[in-house]
């Protein structure tokens, strides 16, 4: 499992508390305007000043370290219940803490969370469960419940509900140089990566550690992968026997991104095959992306991987990418421009 930042922070916090060290957990519960870190970001600080995680670019971490460690090394301040603190209330404070202009964020600070509930939470996350951690802001008591689906963090001033769970996941179909570059970038961006290729000759040179390898037929691999809202499936083989059935399984799933490498002509032919031979329709294939990637003029496998990863992250983060930025649209625009008569 490729550890998420959440898991790394909570695992370290549990180890510190298990060892009897005092520690603070800070969670970003709301932001206004521009903010360096999203809601749900976490930071843990130990009583000797060691920290893990991030809630800003560094200045807020320094202030928390000063306020609750260096300035009050034995007392923390010292509330029993969690505290809500805000940074960037005005332009001067935003500038002092290195926040973007207009940026404001609120943090919930939990002091000395008990080790036992933290252990239960860490074990659940390590096993791949999606869980909701609830914190009563009056008492500081927390509980953990298995969550049926991903959910945004909710904070109403009295209760924090923070859903954490399996990493964002990527299933790549087809080994090769492009898959190696794309897998490396996905791991770097916090995805757990599974590579499927039943062709042993393509797997012999695979050299990316941390990737789970499966050799099932791709459609079976997609079913076993069980894509959810945090999953993406990308076909890279150019082989209809491997790609087509797998992609049909994927587009019928909740995966947030499904796509296949290939030219505009190959992508059109793929959809035509699926509709002609497998009963698919324009509507059922509406979520199938191809050609994939954002247009950056990429030519090499590494550049193509950058293009594809950028599109995956844009979709994951809810960014509405203009259609003109797609590989298909830009290549069509270039063809149109090249075929237009030159002005006289």
List of domains in the chain: 5-164 (no CATH), 169-333 (3.40.50.720)
Both structure tokens of 80? 């029993």
- Can you tell me the distance from the alpha carbon of 213 to that of 219, in angstroms, rounded to the nearest whole number? 15
Residue 131 · residue 154 · CB < 8 Å: no
Task: Sort strands 42-46 and 257-260 into parallel, antiparallel or unpaired.
Answer: unpaired
- Can you tell me the distance from the alpha carbon of 63 to that of 66, in angstroms, rounded to the nearest whole number? 5
Q: Cβ atoms within 10 A of the Cβ of 221, count?
A: 22
- Can you tell me the distance from the alpha carbon of 171 to that of 183, in angstroms, rounded to the nearest whole number? 9
Q: What is the DSSP letter of 294?
A: B
Select from 156, 157, 140 the least CA-distant residue to 81.
Answer: 140
Select from 248, 186, 191 the least CA-distant residue to 222.
Answer: 248
Cross-sheet strand order for the sheet of 192-196: 212-214, 192-196, 169-173, 231-235, 257-260, 288-289
Predicted pLDDT at 1: 39
Predicted pLDDT at 230: 85
Predicted pLDDT at 341: 61
- Can you tell me the distance from the alpha carbon of 188 to that of 210, in angstroms, rounded to the nearest whole number? 11
Any idea which residue has 């404001």 for tokens? 104
Within 8 A by CB and 6+ apart from 273, the residues are 240, 244
Within 8 A by CB and 6+ apart from 291, the residues are 261, 262, 263, 264, 267, 326, 327, 328, 331
Residue 200 · residue 225 · CB < 8 Å: no
pLDDT in tens, the chain (344 residues): 345 678 889 999 999 999 999 999 999 999 876 666 789 999 999 998 999 998 886 678 888 888 877 665 454 555 568 999 988 755 555 556 555 555 688 999 999 999 999 999 999 988 778 899 999 999 889 999 998 877 889 999 999 999 988 778 999 999 999 999 999 999 988 898 999 999 999 998 898 998 999 999 999 999 999 998 889 999 999 899 999 999 999 999 999 999 999 888 999 999 999 999 989 889 989 999 989 999 988 889 999 999 999 999 999 988 888 877 878 777 767 666 666 665 54
Predicted pLDDT at 2: 45
Predicted pLDDT at 57: 67
pTM exceeding 0.75: no
Cα four-point dihedral sign 310, 300, 3, 252: positive
Q: What is the dihedral of CA 240, 252, 167, 236, to 10 degrees?
A: 10
Predicted pLDDT at 16: 97
């Amino acid at each position: 499992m490729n550890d998420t930042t959440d898991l790394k922070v909570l695992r370290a916090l549990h180890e510190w508390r298990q060892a009897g060290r005092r520690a603070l957990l800070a969670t970003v519960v709301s932001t206004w305007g521009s903010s360096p870190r999203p809601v749900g970001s976490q930071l843990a600080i130990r009583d000797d000043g060691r920290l893990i995680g991030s809630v800003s670019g560094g200045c807020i971490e320094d202030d928390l370290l000063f306020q609750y460690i260096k300035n009050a090394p034995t007392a923390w301040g010292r509330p029993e219940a969690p505290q809500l603190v805000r940074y960037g209330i005005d332009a001067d404070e935003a500038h002092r803490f290195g926040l973007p202009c207009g940026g404001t964020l609120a943090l919930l600070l939990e002091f000395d969370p008990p080790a036992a509930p933290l252990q239960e939470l860490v074990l659940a996350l390590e096993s791949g469960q999606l869980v909701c951690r609830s914190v009563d802001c009056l008492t500081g008591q927390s509980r953990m419940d298995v969550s049926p689906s991903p959910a945004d963090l909710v904070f109403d001033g009295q209760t924090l509900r923070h859903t954490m769970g399996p990493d964002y996941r990527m299933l790549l179909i087809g080994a090769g140089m492009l898959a190696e570059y794309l897998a490396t970038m996905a791991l770097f961006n916090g995805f757990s990566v599974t590579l499927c290729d039943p062709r042993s000759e393509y797997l012999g040179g695979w050299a990316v550690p941390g990737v789970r390898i499966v050799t099932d037929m791709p459609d079976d691999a997609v079913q076993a992968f069980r894509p959810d809202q945090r999953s993406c499936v990308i076909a890279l083989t150019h082989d209809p026997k491997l790609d087509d059935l797998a992609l049909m399984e994927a587009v019928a799933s909740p995966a947030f991104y499904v796509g296949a490498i290939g030219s505009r002509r190959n992508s059109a032919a793929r959809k035509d095959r699926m509709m002609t031979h497998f009963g698919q329709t324009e509507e059922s294939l509406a979520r199938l992306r191809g050609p994939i990637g954002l247009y950056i003029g990429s030519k090499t496998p590494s550049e193509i991987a950058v293009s594809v990863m950028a599109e995956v992250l844009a979709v994951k983060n809810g960014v509405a990418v203009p259609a003109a930025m797609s590989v298909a649209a830009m290549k069509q625009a270039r063809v149109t421009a090249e075929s237009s008569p030159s002005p006289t």
